[in-house]
Amino acid sequence: MKHLIDPMDLSKQETDEIISLAQDIIAHRERYQGSMSHRKLATLFYEPSTRTRLSFTAAMMELGGNVLGFSDAKSSSVSKGETVQDTVRVVGCFADVIAMRHYIEGAQLYATEVSRVPIINAGDGSHSHPTQTLTDLLTIQRELGHIDGITIGFCGDLRFGRTVHSLIKALSRYKDIKVILIAPQELKLPDYIKRDVCERTGIPYREVETMEEVMPELDVLYMTRVQKERFLDEDEFDRVKDSFVLDAARMALAKEKMAVLHPLPRVNEILTEVDDDPRAAYFRQVENGKFVREALIVKLHEWKDDPEHGMPSHDYPVYDDTLRCTNSKCICNNERAPHKFRRGDDGVLRCWYCDSKVK
């Protein structure tokens, strides 16, 4: 069965098929209405959301299907202590596909171990957000007409920004991508993404400390919010929260044809004076999120029983009673998920669920 937990669960060809189906849905919406009639999507959101949950809901409604679920886990039996695995076993009795957001990293991967319906990761902690990645790829394709060959600047919270981590992974499969990382010291991209993704796949990247010095090079500027909810230390958040602000003066330094993306919500990092600039693509990006989720729902249904579209074969897990994942936000430190690991090509052991390096 095909789940979508990490962008790399989709092959490049499957990713391209989803992007191209989304474009066909945009061009011929009427052809797809009713294609999911009598099917049900469950949205299980343990963490707040506007775009992801509502775009999944709108996508399923456009396809003629129905939606059930919760937007606040406290209103469900989770508040009585029901585990993630038991919750998906139960919801799988009612729904054909589950989109789940969780503040615990690896929760959705753990859920796939018992689910009888496809699970879509709608964001797990700071780890991954693959449907935002599909949205971003579709937006770049529509704004620029191509994904290959772009220079993309990621700006803001690159440390906790799950959308950034997922998009860099997905871009590693395209040709001639250049990445520029614009972040304060405290919010730099984690080493494992730099090493395991950029260096291993040969994406050139460089780190800079001002937007101004790179604006003229960029085809895409990917802005992100500094996420208060991910900080354990409020003083640290206060120090970095307004590090980078995009305004009309900085936009004046950019190419005539470029695109500003932001997964949203924004706080202070893009002034509203930028919104009317034709290069500001972030609200068009929101609508693309609905179309790409329609395409994903259709494709996961089509691939459900097709052995050619299973999950990619991962390495066998490594079990070692002397090792523990030390990420307090990982599922194996929050539920009874086993501490298990995968060994990368570099020989480093990482948590099976959250990718944290084992110390």
Instruction: Write down the least CB distance from residue 153 to ligand CP, Å.
Output: 19
The residue range among 9-17, 48-56, 113-121, 238-246 that interacts with ligand CP, by the rule CB under 6 A, is 48-56
Instruction: Write down the least CB distance from residue 333 to ligand CP, Å.
Output: 24
- Please report, for residues 46, 319, 351, the alpha-carbon distance to residue 268 in angstroms, rounded to integers and kept in the order given: 25, 45, 34
Tokens 């400390």, located at residue: 209
Instruction: Write down the least CB distance from residue 23 to ligand CP, Å.
Output: 20
Among positions 36, 98, 134, 264, the unique one binding ligand CP when judged by CB under 6 A: 264
Q: Is 49 in the site for ligand CP (CB under 6 A)?
A: yes
Closer Cβ to ligand CP, 221 or 332, answer by number: 221
Q: Is 52 in the site for ligand CP (CB under 6 A)?
A: yes
Instruction: Write down the least CB distance from residue 312 to ligand CP, Å.
Output: 24
Q: Is 83 in the site for ligand CP (CB under 6 A)?
A: no
Closer Cβ to ligand CP, 132 or 172, answer by number: 132
Among positions 51, 194, 266, 301, the unique one binding ligand CP when judged by CB under 6 A: 51
Instruction: Write down the least CB distance from residue 31 to ligand CP, Å.
Output: 27
Binding mask 132-151 for ligand CP (x = CB under 6 A): x-------------------
CA distance 137 to 206: 21
Strands 178-182 and 259-261: unpaired
Binding mask 208-237 for ligand CP (x = CB under 6 A): ------------------------------
Among positions 20, 50, 77, 326, the unique one binding ligand CP when judged by CB under 6 A: 50
The residue range among 49-57, 226-234, 240-248, 339-347 that interacts with ligand CP, by the rule CB under 6 A, is 49-57
The residue range among 140-148, 171-179, 260-268, 331-339 that interacts with ligand CP, by the rule CB under 6 A, is 260-268
Closest alpha carbon to 50 in 111, 132, 127, 118: 132
Number of residues that bind ligand CP (CB under 6 A): 9
Interacting residues of 111 by C-beta distance below 8 A, sequence separation 6+:
84, 85, 87, 88, 98, 100, 119
Q: Is 71 in the site for ligand CP (CB under 6 A)?
A: no
CA distance 239 to 227: 13
Instruction: Write down the least CB distance from residue 229 to ligand CP, Å.
Output: 11
Contact 97, 118 (CB under 8 A): yes
Instruction: Write down the least CB distance from residue 122 to ligand CP, Å.
Output: 7
Residues 94-133 that bind ligand CP (CB under 6 A): 123, 132
Q: What's the sign of the alpha-carbon dihedral 171, 172, 175, 176? A: positive
Residues that bind ligand CP (CB under 6 A): 49-52, 123, 132, 263-265
